[in-house]
């Protein structure tokens, strides 16, 4: 805009002939150097001469954005254009109606019997055991048999 407030730009310039190691060192020290220049509005790093082409216009645009509200104090006559809210409302209404039709969730359907699709019959009786069957039977406690014995002994 036409703001007259002072704005600052923090440039980092590393020539094209600098080695990648030197460029890395510059980027490593940049935060400490930036602490010396608090209050800048824009930070710009330039590594090659070709980046200087159009830099003035780019900085001008960035400064206008960095200055907050970009007010026109009368140097440019942009004019006010009438908005078209009715088209916007119609388009958004159609968009959301289509989305609702696409994602409409129907009623819940419960199966009324055994499922036939998606199930695989599985016999668990032949599973491999980590111990032999005789040893496994020793570890099984038949609580019902114990209960029956206790009932008859009394």
Around Cβ 64, how many Cβ atoms within 10 Å? 15
Q: How far is CA 111 from CA 49, 104, 108, 119, 122, in A?
A: 72, 21, 10, 14, 21
Within a domain: 25: yes
Is residue 53 in a domain? yes
Mean predicted lDDT score pLDDT of the chain? 75
For residue 154, is pLDDT > 60?
Answer: no
**Under 8 Å CB-to-CB from 16, ≥6 apart: which residues?**
47, 48, 49
Q: Helices marked H in the chain — which ranges?
A: 20-36, 55-66, 85-102, 133-139, 143-153
For residue 132 the two structure tokens come to: 């032999």
- Helix (H) / strand (E) element for 42: namely strand 42-46
Please, is 18 exposed, middle or buried when counting C-beta atoms within 10 Å of its C-beta (0-12, 13-18, 19+)? middle
Residue 136 placed within a domain: no
Is 138 a member of any domain? no
Q: What is the pLDDT of residues 60-88, one digit of tens each?
A: 888 888 776 666 555 555 554 566 677 77
Q: Tell me, what's the pLDDT at 140?
A: 74
Question: What is the dihedral angle through the alpha carbons of 90, 95, 101, 105, rounded to the nearest 10 degrees?
Answer: -120
pLDDT(1) > 70: no
- Using CA atoms of 47, 52, 56, 60 in order, give the dihedral in degrees to the nearest 10: -30
Q: Is residue 51 part of a domain?
A: yes
The pLDDT of 9-30, averaged and rounded, is 86
Q: Tell me, yes or no, whether 23 lies in a domain.
A: yes
**Is 48 a residue whose pLDDT tops 80?**
yes
**Could you read off the pLDDT of 97-136 as tens digits, one per residue?**
888 888 767 777 766 666 667 666 665 666 676 777 777 7
- By residue range, what is the domain housing residue 46? 9-66
The answer to whether residue 55 is domain-embedded is yes
- Confidence class of residue 24 from pLDDT cuts 50, 70 and 90? confident
Look at residue 44 and tell me if it is in a domain.
yes
The domain tally of the chain equals 1
């Amino acid at each position: 805009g036409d703001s007259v407030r002072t704005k600052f730009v923090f440039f980092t310039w590393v020539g094209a002939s600098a080695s990648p190691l030197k460029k890395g060192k510059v980027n490593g020290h940049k935060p400490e150097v930036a602490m010396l220049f608090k209050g800048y509005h824009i930070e710009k790093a330039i590594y090659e001469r070709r980046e200087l082409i159009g830099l003035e216009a780019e900085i001008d645009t960035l400064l206008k954005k960095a200055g907050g509200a970009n007010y026109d104090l009368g140097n440019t006559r942009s004019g006010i254009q009438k908005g078209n809210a009715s088209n916007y409302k119609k388009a958004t209404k159609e968009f959301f109606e289509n989305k609702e039709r696409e994602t409409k969730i129907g009623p819940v359907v419960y199966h009324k019997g055994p499922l036939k699709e998606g199930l695989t019959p599985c016999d668990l009786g032949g599973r491999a055991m980590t111990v032999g069957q005789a040893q496994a039977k020793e570890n099984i406690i038949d609580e019902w048999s114990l209960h029956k014995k206790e009932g008859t002994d009394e």
